[in-house]
Chain A
Amino acid sequence: MLRAENLCCGRHGVAVLRGVSLTLQPGQLLGVLGANGAGKSTLLATLAGELPAMSGSLTLHNQPLSQMRPAAQARCRGVLPQSPSLAFELPVRAVVGTGAYPFPEVSPAQLEHLIDRALVLADASHLASRRYTALSGGEQQRIQFARVLTQVLAHRAAGDYRALLLDEPTASLDPKHQWLLLQTVAQLARDEGLAVLVILHDVNLAAQWCDQLLLLAGGSVVAHGPPDAVLTPAAMMSVYGMAAQVVMHPVDARRRMVCFVG
C-alpha cells in the first residue's frame, strides 16, 4: 500500500506541506481539499514519485518509494496530472494504449480489449476515431483519464494493489462528466479494489463520492476523516477563509451539503 507518515513535501528545498500521514487503502476514495497553493499538487507529485520526500517516510508496500525504480512504481500506481498536452499528433487509441507500457506482457489482443474498456469507462468511445489535438480540453481530459485507467487495470490479478492519483480530474469537465468520472472511480474502487486519491475543488462533489477527506491549509493538515465529520463551518473557514453553512441535502436526507455564504 502507498503510505505516508509524517511526510514533509516541497519543491526546490522549500517545504510546502508538513506532517502528512495517510494510507491509500484498496477500495477507498481519499479526497484532498484545499485552497490554491495549499500544497495539494505538491503532495500528489511527491506521492507520484516526481519529488523526493523532504522528511518523513513514504513507502509503497513497505519499501521506500525513493528506492523503487520508476518502472516498478508504474506497475502499481497510475497518475493523472493537470493540463494534458501532446507534442505531436498521436491517434486517440495510441494515447490510451500508452497506459499499458509498464506491462510489456500484455498481448496486442488484450491491449485492444483494455483500451475499449477504458474508453467506455471514461465515456470516450465515440472520440476514439477523432484527432487528439482536435478534441476540446474536457474531451482530452477524458482521453487522459482513459489512459490512466488502462494503466491501473492492465494485467491486474485479483488482489493486486493499484493506486490511482488524480489531480483535479474534473477541472475541465461539464457537470455530467464530473459526476460520471467520480461515479466510475468509486465503482472501480469498489469492484477492482483501486486505492484512489483525488484532488477536488468542489466540496459537495467530494462529500458525495469520497470515503475520506484530507483538508489542507497553512502548510499542514487541518482535518482528516469521513466527509460528515470533517466538513464543518469551522473547517471551511480555516481551509478557504469563507463562512459556510452545512445543510441537509434536499433530496437525500442522509447527505450533508456545504453552502458558502461569503
Chain B
Amino acid sequence: MLLLALLACLLLLALIAAAHGAVAIPLHALPRLLLAHDLTEQEQLWRNVLVQIRLPRVALAIVAGGGLTVTGTAMQALFRNPLAEPGLIGIASGGALGAVAAIVLGAPGLFWLTPAAFIGSLAATALCYQLGQRRPGMSSLLLAGVAINVICGSIIGLFTYVADDAQLRSLTFWNMGSLAGATWTQLAFLGPWTLALSLLLLREWRALNALLLGEREAQHLGFALNPLRRRLIVLVALIVGPLVAATGVIGFVGLVVPHLVRLSLGADHRWLLPNTLVAGAIALSLADWLARVVVIPAELPIGIVTSLIGGPFFLWILTRRVA
C-alpha cells in the first residue's frame, strides 16, 4: 500500500519538477507538448526545454535516487551498521578521484570523465574488498573502506590544491554532485542497468533479513557468507559506480532515506527494499527540483541540497520518535 502511495507521489513530483524551473511551463500544457504536432513558437520552446533538459534530468534524479538508496539499504544490512551507505567501501570517493584526476591531469575533453570516474570507483571498491578479505568478518572491510575513503579524499585535496580556476569549477561538480548533465543517451543505458541490478538486489531480501540476526545466524540459515558478501558488494558497486560517474558524489540520500523508510515500515527487507527504491527516487527528485528553483536562474549543487535539507529533517524525525 505504501509502495503505491509512494509511486503516485513520485509521478506527481516528476510532473511538477518537469514543469517548474527557470522557464515555467504550465502543467496543463504537458500532454499537448509531448503529443501534439501543431505547436506555437512558444510551445515549441517549452517542448525543447521539457524534452531536452527537464525530463532527462528528472529521469536521472529518479534513477540515481533509487539506485543510491536501495544500495544504501543493502549496505546497512550487510554491515549491520546504521551508518553504512553506498560510498562506505570507496565507490563514491574512488569515482570522484578518477574524475578529478582526469580533470587536473588534463584529459582531452569531458568524454574521458565518465570512464575515469567509473574505473576509479570500481578500482577503489576492488581494493577495499581485497584488503577486507585478509581477516574474517566485516570489520576489516569496513576499516579498509574508511582508510581508502580518507586516502582518496586527501589525493582529491591535493589535486584541488594544484588545480587552476577553470578546473576548480569542474571539481566542485564531482565533490557536490549535479544532475545538470543528464542526456537521453546516458539514460538509455543507466535506466535499464540500474533497474535490472536493483531487481537482482531486491531478490536478496531473505539473505539481508538473515544478516540482521547476525552473520553466524545467517550461515545457520543456509547462506554461504563469503559468496553472499561478494554478490552484494558486486551488485552495489555495479549500481553505484555508473551513477557516480554520471552525477558525481551525491551524499546523504543513500544514508538517510533507508532509515526514514525503516522507521515507518520496519526492517523486513521484503518490503523495505522496494519502498526505499521509490522513496530514494522521490527524495532526489525533490532535492534536484529545489536545487533548480531556489536561486533561479542559477542553481545549487544537489549534494548541498540533500545534506542541507536531509540532515535537519533526519534529526527532526529522530527527536520526534523519542518524544
- Chain A residues in contact with chain B, CB under 8 A? 45, 48-50, 69-75, 77-79, 81, 84-91, 94-95, 98-99, 101-102, 147, 151
Contact = CB atoms under 8 A, between A and B. Distances in A.
Chain B facing A: main interface SS: helix
Nearest to A131: B266
Contacts of A87: 76-77, 80-81, 211-212, 267
B14 to A, nearest CB: 30
A89 B221 contact: no
A86 B210 CA distance: 10
Nearest to A147: B213
A94 B266 CA distance: 10
Contacts of B77: 87-88
B268 A90 contact: yes
A73 B220 CA distance: 8
B223 to A, nearest CB: 6
B307 interface: no
Residue among B82, B220, B266, B268 with most chain A CB within 10 A: B220
B209 interface: yes
B216 to A, nearest CB: 5
B221 A101 contact: yes
B214 interface: yes
Nearest to A75: B222
Interface of B: 76-77, 80-82, 206, 209-214, 216-217, 219-224, 262, 266-268
Contacts, number: 82
B213 A102 contact: no
B219 A50 contact: yes
13 contacts: A49-B220, A50-B219, A69-B222, A69-B224, A71-B224, A77-B220, A86-B213, A87-B80, A88-B76, A88-B77, A90-B268, A101-B210, A151-B221
A86 B220 CA distance: 15
A50 B216 CA distance: 7
A88 B261 CA distance: 12
A50 B205 CA distance: 22
A206 to B, nearest CB: 23
A74 B224 CA distance: 11
A84 B89 CA distance: 27
Contact of A85 (B210, B214, B220, B221): B214
Contacts of A99: 221
Nearest to B259: A88
Nearest to A91: B266
Residue among B80, B210, B222 with most chain A CB within 10 A: B222
